[in-house]
A and B are shown apart, each in its own frame.
Chain A
Amino acid sequence: MSRAALARQKIEAAEARLDGLILPDGATWATEARRAAEARVRAAGLPQRRDEYWRFTNPAPLLSDEVVPSSTDLPEESPVFGEVDRLRIVFVDGIFDPAQSDALEMAGLEIETLAEATATDIHWAKSVFGVLEEAGQKPVDRSLAALNTASAEEGIVIRATAKAEKPVALVYLQSAPASEAMIHHVIRVEEGAELTLLETGPAAARFSKVMEVDVADRGTFHHVRAQGRAHERLAHTHAFARLGTESVYKSFTLTANGRLTRNEHVVELTGDDAVAHIAGACVGDGSDFLHDDTVFITHDAVNCESRQVFKKVLRNGATGVFQGKILVKEGAQKTDGYQISQSLLLDDDSQFLAKPELEIYADDVACSHGSTSGAIDDEALFYLRSRGVAHEDATDLLTLAFLAEALDEIEDERLADDLRDRLENWLKRRK
């Protein structure tokens, strides 16, 4: 297919999708932001199989007209982070449910729904909503995110002005098997403030989520997410972050199953001495499983640090994808960039596809990346077996050990322990 034909196909797909779209109601600034996002989708088109940016993952199921239903009948288990003292905000099939949620109040935080915020004529969210997403459209189009900005009615808007006393937990429940959810969160962590955001739950049969996070100077934002147990679920999520001087942004995602999950992280370090850590652990099972981590980190200030740690355990024909890039702009000296992506293939049908990139325009930097793929270490397995550990237990143990490096990225030990236990149980209860 020629480049022109591909471009045409993308635009036609966008036009078909946007045909008859009614933008959500809102204040003038919000409507303008949504209109601009719609125009971005029209100009760039929607992703197709032949897009280099979608080289390893077919975007078609994320855009098809029909939503394939997913089972809502999940095994009983205690909620993730159930033991953690937190402010719960619940979405059912992508719609905010005030009845199941705690009151949207906490010292140091201003919490609103997206609908409330975007209906307000003068609102701080104007400087973030659709703004970070638009900045993240270069050098590749991320039209799915723009589509979300244009059409999402649901979401949460949080402004942290001080250190929040406890985490805010977003809980996504699914009740209708064929539900489709589109959520857009807007977050601003003000100077010196601190916020921890938790996300859990299957959300919907098909889930689109965009989160824009603006961290001001010396602000700190922690994000810990546990994605799904549902095997049929489709999800694509985007996080766009802008980091000020000496700010900290740390994100960890645990993904277990799901049919197609694509998590994109677009982080721009714009202030000196900022720190960004993005990590993920994923266990995938089954030939219809595909998990894609796509990360783009831009260093545009001096003395910043970025870390990407991604681990995937794949079995029964599962596919793991990693596309990661560190871009160091001219003048972003003293950058410390690190990236590791590793996969453990538990059988011969599973596959790992990776494109770990570096693009560097500054000479006084230390950037490195590594990527490995292979089977479980036979010698380690033999060692455990020779000490009387059953084969399955030994495999689980080595799997957990393999994932540990990613889980170690979670700073809060309570959250890390919770996820470790969860992972252990999930491995035990394999299908």
Chain B
Amino acid sequence: MAALDEVTAKDGVDQETVDAVAKLSGKYKYGWETEIEMDYAPKGVNPDIVRLISSKNEEPGWMTEWRLSAFDRWERMEEPEWAMVSYPKIDFQDQYYYARPKSMETRPKSLDEVDPKLLETYKKLGIPLKEQAILAGVEMPEEERKVAVDAVFDSVSVGTTFQAELKKAGVIFCSISEAIREHPELVKKYLGSVVPPSDNYYATLNSAVFSDGSFVYVPPGVRCPMELSTYFRINAENTGQFERTLIIADKGSYVSYLEGCTAPQRDTAQLHAAVVEIIIEEDAEVKYSTVQNWFPGDENGKGGIYNFVTKRADCRGDRAKVMWTQVETGSAVTWKYPSCILRGDDSQGEFYSIAITNNMQQADTGTKMVHLGKNTKSRIVSKGISAGRAQNTYRGLVSMHPKAKNSRNYTQCDSLLIGDKCGAHTVPYIEVKNNSSRVEHEATTSKVDDDQLFYCRSRGMDEEEAVALVVNGFCKEVLQALPMEFAMEAQQLVAISLEGSVG
């Protein structure tokens, strides 16, 4: 973290903030590698590889066809160039699209049968893959909530915990490959219905070659009894990870979903192109939280993950609600816009993001709020922090369609630059096509609420203290959107003040 140590914080940026960023983006803690025997598909991508992946997952014919038609389309598409990121051209034929630990050749029937090396890997990452508390029949203290985990290692899901208990509640939580085999009717109905195979270059590639990922179905009226989580680990070299997540929250249900990801420290960049689709029916609610901590590359920009991800939630029913929360600290290049289609009347979308880039990292991230239904509401709070020689861009769209009467959007994006070699950019698109809706986009720190400031001042605080309190309170509000499981990691961010920010 040489870059940050040498920086003297500008007036108004407190040292605590600089230290917090330094600590967060300091030495990468997850850069080690698991030595394990792997099975690879041949390098490169072509229809045979697509068929091979499909057959490895023992998929029915319709799924193979779906993949092949996506591949056919992908071959005719162009890589997008509009994002404010630059990286050497990716050779899509010079990497592996499928890598599976040898020990996973016969699918383990339970976690007990999983290769101890794999279990050790997740233990080291701090991801509990055991259900011991339950199995031992020990009462858990109330604040220790249970989390069910689907652990994805390179191209395959290693195992999913608490499946039995979830089943009792009617919740299906398994790997997507299992869902294709066991619940084809649900997969057929929903897969590609939010992010169609033709959506964009990386999503189309994903549609052709996705190897695994998670599947969640929460039946009508069910409040999922625990947090669900997927942990993605890239381990193999020269291997792309293409996972697919499909979450369906049926009428009146609720689920909170967490996602974490890490990768070993390597000199060559690796591609991660995921697709997440969420379907939210009437009165249902989904919280989706990500702490993205892929290897960011070294301080000279060597290696790291190219994180090209398509995430989209479709609020199909009335009063459906979705909340995206992301803390983005990893990846060499991030290209990611978790979006909300607010189709149902009175549906709501929220997006809370903290993106931290350092050294040579580049992030182009934001959200799309597409208001189609009446009385729909959306809120965007984005904080970008850029240090070293990094580039951090917020890119977003707020669209009020003619029929989205009486809808509301509020957007706030703040960025903070630490050092004079980095960049922070804001590229919002605003399209308002009816007059009963209100859209407000704001990107400034001087807009700290005057009333709140006045209140603090009138109680004897000096201006700086008052601003710090108000801003910290605001920041905490964002972080509180994160489930408790991420609280530890997120807490370090609380110290970050927004003094000296730019829009």
Contacts and interface: CB of A to CB of B under 8 A. Distances in A.
Given A353-B430, A360-B415, A330 B420 contact: yes
A66 interface: no
Nearest to A363: B417
Contacts of B91: none
Interface stretch (A216-224, A277-285, A364-372): A364-372
Nearest to B399: A353
A356 B441 contact: yes
Interface stretch (B442-450, B456-464, B475-483): B442-450
B503 A369 contact: yes
Nearest to B443: A369
Interface of A: 2-3, 52, 330-331, 333, 343, 345-375
A371 B435 CA distance: 15
A353 B447 CA distance: 24
A358 B81 contact: no
B423 interface: yes
Interface of B: 10-11, 78, 81-82, 84, 400, 402, 405, 415, 417-447, 500, 502-503
A368 to B, nearest CB: 3
Given A3-B81, A52-B82, A348-B436, A354 B430 contact: yes
Contacts of B426: 356-358, 369
Contacts of B419: 363
A330 B430 CA distance: 28
A3 B446 CA distance: 41
Given A370-B444, A371-B441, A355 B428 contact: yes
Contacts of B11: 364
A360 B420 CA distance: 10
A358 to B, nearest CB: 4
A30 to B, nearest CB: 37
A368 B437 contact: no
A339 to B, nearest CB: 9
Given A345-B435, A358-B426, 15 more contacts: A333-B420, A357-B425, A358-B424, A360-B424, A360-B502, A361-B423, A367-B503, A368-B442, A368-B445, A369-B443, A369-B503, A372-B439, A374-B435, A374-B437, A374-B439
Contacts of A331: 420
A358 B430 contact: no
Contacts of A369: 426, 441, 443-444, 503
Contact of A363 (B10, B430, B441, B446): B10
8 contacts: A354-B431, A360-B424, A364-B10, A364-B500, A366-B446, A368-B443, A370-B443, A371-B441
A235 to B, nearest CB: 24
Contacts of A345: 432, 434-435
Contacts of A375: 435-436, 438
A369 B440 CA distance: 11
Contacts of A347: 435
A304 to B, nearest CB: 15
Contacts of A373: 400, 430, 432, 437-439
A318 to B, nearest CB: 11
6 A-B pairs with least C-beta separation? A368-B444, A345-B435, A363-B417, A374-B438, A373-B432, A354-B430
Interface majority SS (helix, strand, loop, mixed), chain A? strand
A387 to B, nearest CB: 24
Contacts of A352: 430-432
Nearest to B424: A360
A15 B333 CA distance: 39
Contact of A2 (B78, B84, B420): B78
Given A3-B81, A352-B430, A368-B444, A358 B503 contact: yes
Nearest to B84: A359
A344 to B, nearest CB: 8
B503 A348 contact: no
Nearest to B442: A370
Nearest to B410: A372
Nearest to A326: B503
B427 A365 contact: no
Contacts of B400: 373
B130 to A, nearest CB: 46
Nearest to B77: A2
A330 B423 CA distance: 9
A346 B432 CA distance: 13
A368 B447 CA distance: 10
A3 B502 contact: no
Nearest to A322: B430
Contact of B417 (A343, A351, A357, A360): A360
Nearest to B402: A348
Contacts of B427: 355, 357
Contacts of A330: 420-421
B435 A372 contact: no
Contacts of A3: 78, 81
Contacts of B502: 358, 360, 365-368
A92 to B, nearest CB: 39
Contacts of B418: 363
A360 B440 contact: no
Contacts of B441: 354, 356, 369-372
A353 B425 contact: no
A360 B421 CA distance: 10
